[in-house]
Amino acid sequence: MPLVRISLREGKSSEYHATLMEQIYLAMRESIGTPEDDRFATITEHKASGFNTSGNYAGVDRSDDLVIIQITMLGGRTIEQKKALYAAIAEKLSRDPGVRKEDVFVSLVEVAREDWSLGNGIAQYA
């Protein structure tokens, strides 16, 4: 049950947004077994003054087209699964909508089963 939060600089089209969300969903399905139709995602656009790419921090030459992806998910996946997820997201986004792999930044936040309520005030996984 991942929750995907995507941040980028303002100015991209609604089609671009939809493609980002779809490609990330497909990458999660393939690499970490995200359930079908588990598509919880948001996109937030930022003005240039409120979006810092950190240039070439850690030897990665980022541009103003950086896409920051934060995925909150249940803990327990292996390092190999996480690496496969990062690679799948970068590959899919590079193909469509054409994001440079250098501009794909992914952060995972792992939480416990009891940390989710999917509606109705119920902890469905607890």
Q: Is 2 a catalytic residue?
A: yes
Number of H helices, E strands in the chain: 2, 4
Calculated CA dihedral for residues 18, 24, 30, 35, nearest 10 degrees: -70
Catalytic pick among 1, 2, 37, 67: 2
Q: How many beta carbons lie within 10 A of that of residue 91, not counting itself?
A: 13
Q: Which residues participate in catalysis according to the annotation?
A: 2
